[in-house]
Structure 1
Amino acid sequence: MQEIEQFNENLRRERKASTLLVGALLVGGLATTVPLFTDSIKHSKVLFCRVNSDCRGSSVRRGIAYIIDNERRNQLFDINIRVLRVLPPEDSTAYLFGIGGSIALLAAYAASKSLTDKQEKAIHSQFALLKIKALENDILTQNHLDLTAFSKAQQSEITKQAIARQTAEIIEAMKSPGEQQLDHLNGTLHGELSLKNHELQISEMDKVIADNKLQVAETNKKLSKLSSTPQDEHSSSTQSPSEQLKDTLINALKNHEDGYLWKIINSLKPLWLIGNQGSGKTYTATAIALIRKYCLDAPIHQLIDRHATGDNADVWQLLEATSKAESEDEISTAFDDCCDRWLQRIKEKPSKKQQVIVDEFTNLKSLCGDTAIAFFKMSLTDTRKAKEYLLGITHNATNESFPDGTAAARKSGTILLEKFSANGETPLSRVVVRYGLVDENGNNLEDEERTLPNWMHPERVYQHFNGKPINFED
């Protein structure tokens, strides 16, 4: 309050001083301009009379000199008057009074405006300062209240504990020797019961561990039976666990519908998956890539997908690709790298295979233009010689997805597998091999209806080689 009163007092003093100054300037300015309203002060006067008068008394007229001079240009007026005398102006510097008065009035306005602006800023600044101080006071008050409440709560808790402890001591002192002995026995029984419960929990955990070990042993036994044949029972016993896992999965693929799926996976022809949204193209592609990785020793060298670290990140991470291309520039560069690498691998004739995966090629064709078209055309001939598995995903088999003029080459040089969904969300096991497979006599098979095994899922294939083998008999 004292600061506000001091502030108000300062404002009053400033207004008082400014009022006196503005008043003095106004009075001075107006007083200075008063002489300007009297013509005799500013201009020369002329005394004149008519020629036919006696030029005395009331017949003498007075006029402004420059006005009379203008009238005298009229010859009739000049003939009829006689100039008696020219009276000089009372003050030749009268115009300076007008200038001084104007300056004084302007100074009064400027002083008034300056005071108004200054006090307005001061008032706003004071309001802001008061608001800040009010907030500080509120924070201090709230913190003080919180600290007081916390202190009271702690004191109350300490008091409760002290009273409870004192009450327990009093009750214990009031007990008879028999009651004290009974309490001792109860405490001993509770301790033994807790110990037994702990031992029971440990035994239950041991039982679960033993069951898990038994299941693992049974699974290994089943794997051994599946991977062994009457001709090579002795050789299977010498295989490593990883080799056994490979053999069991390959045998399961070979035994599924004449082994068409293993033929597709084992082929170096570019494999393209098509289908509508929700048909599970990405999951099927990942499962195939994992089978090639583990069973054919073909690591994933390159993953080209605009959503590599987005929507598809969870499923792609199982592949552990060496490099990923996600942005438009990265994908264009990756297409160029593939073309160069295939030519280099063909020259080097490598013994080890590797994989390239391309997702949503329909969109990449429109984004990357000629680079994507060149990549696709070279893949028709170079991937087999370069020993690279190309696995692609696109929407359909029309020219929207593939470059124009490649229909015949696609039929002879690629495998096209179509996936389906029940309602646009649930993938079906049904697939159709549109082209790319041949029968035992070398005849092309087209539009062959097939199904995928129920275990054909990337997570299950990954777990098969990482501690949880698939039971193919289920």
Structure 2
Amino acid sequence: MIDEITKFSEQLNRQRKSSTVIIFGLLLCGFAAAIPMFNDSIKHEETLYCNSKVICRGANIKRGISYLIDRERRNQLFDNNIYVKKILPPEDPTAFVWGIISSGLLLSAYGVSRAITNNQEKAIHSQFKLLKIKALENDFLEQTHIDLFEFSKQNQAEITKQAIARQTSETIQAMKSESEVQLDHLNGQLQGELSIKTHELQISDLSKQIAENLLSEAETKRKLEKLNKPIQDTKQPTPDEQLKLTLIDALKAHEDGWLWKIIDSLKPLWLIGNQGSGKTYTASAIALIRKYSLGAPIYQLIDRHATGDNADVWKLLDAQFKAETEEDISIAFEDCCERWLTRIKQKPTTKQQVIVDEFTNLKSLCGNSAIAFFKASLTDTRKAKEYLLGITHNATNESFPDGTAAARKAGTILLEKFSANGETPLSRVVVRHGLVDEQGNSLEDVERTLPLWFHPLKIHEHFNGKPIDL
């Protein structure tokens, strides 16, 4: 450790010497370059003049800075009484340049001095910290070594005692009679058993002490590793997790987080609105957010136009199963009812999605299977951990089965979309029912807006290389 301190001190001395030479050189050059600034004849043009009434030679000739003389000559009396003999140009017209160079050199000297000082200060602090860690490491190792030495010394003393005791015992044994020998034999057997037990106890104690020493050494190494280990930041989220957190934070910050509450809820979500209000695009955006942020893939897409008019809208969802014909849709409705019951029994830990479009027409086309599907969705989807996202024209009995009005209001979320002219969707929406405030009170006919970036293509790009500027 002393050698390290000595080498470090020599290194600092070399740095100070080299920096002193550099700084001295810069100061010397700076002051030398500043010399012309102290002599007016070097910097300024001068005028030689004398009184017009005397002979203009020798001591009668006076010298002055030209621009000052010209200022005085504005006085006609002064101008009439002098005689200008000669104009002397400045000895060095670049004197001002040398002044700037001088300032630059002096500032450079200060900068070099400051940089060297800061560098050495940081080096000293770093070296002191390293020496402190090494000193602590040496202390721990030295303490462990002392403990082992004391243990060894105790064992040696014990061996010496046993050897002396054995020699003494042999001498006494030779002096005893036959009866005393027999008695000692019996005592010896008892002592032997006792010695065996004592020996086993000593071995146990030694093993315990060795284990404690090893544990202490391991603890010492752990502390040293902790001291030498650089400070690291807390675990940072992966890029995918960061994208999820960014999007979720933006949704929570948008108008008190109403949209995130709806997306995160397992209540069946139904979108209503006239043609051109953007129901399908909104449903696709919600489904993508649930897919990427909540880990819920799209299991079933039930739409008569899944590969037709709505193909461009649904293509980003990558649904596992699609039902497009009337027969397939009826089977899909029945499959949903059976699957929900099965998942409820299995108590699933993962979530998935079911999307139904144009339920108004499907109700009349599929009959009982559509009615059974809707009624089962009011109670089973939440327990089965499936998000149901439906689209229909309105909230009347024409769109939903008869006798379900109260159940719909209590067990679903109804979101109405609007358009400006039947073609251009508006960001304005109205939550008809299913949303609650912070105190749990139901909110009805609450008007809200969707974020400007709420579009399925942008959300898909957000998780595929083109994050949204939120």
Tell me the TM-score normalised to structure 1 length: 0.50
Give the drift of 1:461: 0.2
SS of match in other structure, 1:256? helix
SS of match in other structure, 1:384? coil
Which whole-Å CA distance do the structure 1 matches of 2:451 and 2:337 have between them?
34
TM-superposition CA deviations, 1:351-371 (whole Å, max 9, x none)? 000000000000000000111
TM-superposition CA deviations, 1:193-227 (whole Å, max 9, x none)? xxxxxxxxxxxxxxxxxxxxxxxxxxxxxxxxxxx
Which whole-Å CA distance do the structure 2 matches of 1:469 and 1:459 have between them?
11
Structure 1 residue ranges without an equivalent (≥5): 1-232
Following superposition of structure 1 onto structure 2, how do residues 329-340 of structure 1 map, counting pairs within 5 Å?
329-340=327-338
Amino acid at match of 1:415: I
Which whole-Å CA distance do the structure 2 matches of 1:234 and 1:288 have between them?
34
SS of match in other structure, 1:303? strand
Which whole-Å CA distance do the structure 2 matches of 1:393 and 1:234 have between them?
46
SS of match in other structure, 2:454? coil
Aligned equivalent of 2:391: 393
Aligned equivalent of 2:381: 383
TM-superposition CA deviations, 1:128-148 (whole Å, max 9, x none)? xxxxxxxxxxxxxxxxxxxxx
- Structure 2 residue 346 is matched with structure 1 residue 348: yes
Give the drift of 1:440: 1.1
Amino acid at match of 2:354: V
Amino acid at match of 2:239: P
Following superposition of structure 1 onto structure 2, how do residues 39-50 of structure 1 map, counting pairs within 5 Å?
none
Aligned equivalent of 1:271: 269
TM-superposition CA deviations, 1:381-428 (whole Å, max 9, x none)? 000000000000000000000000000000000000000000000000
Aligned equivalent of 1:291: 289
Give the drift of 1:441: 1.1
Aligned equivalent of 2:365: 367
Amino acid at match of 1:318: L
Aligned equivalent of 2:201: none
TM-superposition CA deviations, 1:63-105 (whole Å, max 9, x none)? xxxxxxxxxxxxxxxxxxxxxxxxxxxxxxxxxxxxxxxxxxx
Aligned equivalent of 1:185: none
TM-superposition CA deviations, 1:163-220 (whole Å, max 9, x none)? xxxxxxxxxxxxxxxxxxxxxxxxxxxxxxxxxxxxxxxxxxxxxxxxxxxxxxxxxx
Which whole-Å CA distance do the structure 2 matches of 1:245 and 1:416 have between them?
28
Greater Rg by CA: 1
Following superposition of structure 1 onto structure 2, how do residues 73-472 of structure 1 map, counting pairs within 5 Å?
234-235=233-234, 238-472=236-470
Which whole-Å CA distance do the structure 1 matches of 2:407 and 2:336 have between them?
19
Which whole-Å CA distance do the structure 2 matches of 1:455 and 1:355 have between them?
23
Question: Structure 1 residues 364, 310: CA separation in 2 closer, same or farther (over 3 Å shift)?
Answer: same
Aligned equivalent of 2:115: none
TM-superposition CA deviations, 1:219-275 (whole Å, max 9, x none)? xxxxxxxxxxxxxx944x621100000000000000000000000000000000000
SS of match in other structure, 2:418? strand
Which whole-Å CA distance do the structure 2 matches of 1:250 and 1:444 have between them?
23
Amino acid at match of 1:277: Q
C-alpha root-mean-square deviation of aligned residues, in Å? 1.0
Aligned equivalent of 1:188: none
Aligned equivalent of 1:215: none
SS of match in other structure, 1:456? coil
Amino acid at match of 1:414: T
Amino acid at match of 2:275: Q
Query: How many pairs does the alignment contain?
Result: 239
Which whole-Å CA distance do the structure 1 matches of 2:437 and 2:249 have between them?
19
Which whole-Å CA distance do the structure 2 matches of 1:434 and 1:315 have between them?
25
Which whole-Å CA distance do the structure 2 matches of 1:465 and 1:440 have between them?
31
Aligned equivalent of 1:149: none
Which whole-Å CA distance do the structure 2 matches of 1:454 and 1:402 have between them?
31
Which whole-Å CA distance do the structure 2 matches of 1:443 and 1:432 have between them?
17
Runs of 4+ in 1 over 6 A off after TM superposition: none
Amino acid at match of 1:366: S
Amino acid at match of 1:376: F
Which whole-Å CA distance do the structure 2 matches of 1:411 and 1:437 have between them?
10
Which whole-Å CA distance do the structure 2 matches of 1:439 and 1:364 have between them?
34
Which whole-Å CA distance do the structure 2 matches of 1:442 and 1:375 have between them?
29
SS of match in other structure, 1:255? helix
SS of match in other structure, 1:461? helix
SS of match in other structure, 1:385? coil
SS of match in other structure, 1:420? strand
Question: Structure 1 residues 234, 397: CA separation in 2 closer, same or farther (over 3 Å shift)?
Answer: farther
Amino acid at match of 1:282: T
Structure 2 residue ranges without an equivalent (≥5): 1-231
SS of match in other structure, 2:274? coil
Which whole-Å CA distance do the structure 2 matches of 1:265 and 1:426 have between them?
24
Give the drift of 1:469: 0.2
Amino acid at match of 2:295: D
Amino acid at match of 1:249: L
Which whole-Å CA distance do the structure 2 matches of 1:247 and 1:327 have between them?
39
Amino acid at match of 1:276: N
SS of match in other structure, 2:452? coil
Which whole-Å CA distance do the structure 2 matches of 1:380 and 1:452 have between them?
26
TM-superposition CA deviations, 1:339-362 (whole Å, max 9, x none)? 000000000000000000000000
Give the drift of 1:450: 0.0
Amino acid at match of 1:450: R
Amino acid at match of 1:248: T
Aligned equivalent of 1:96: none
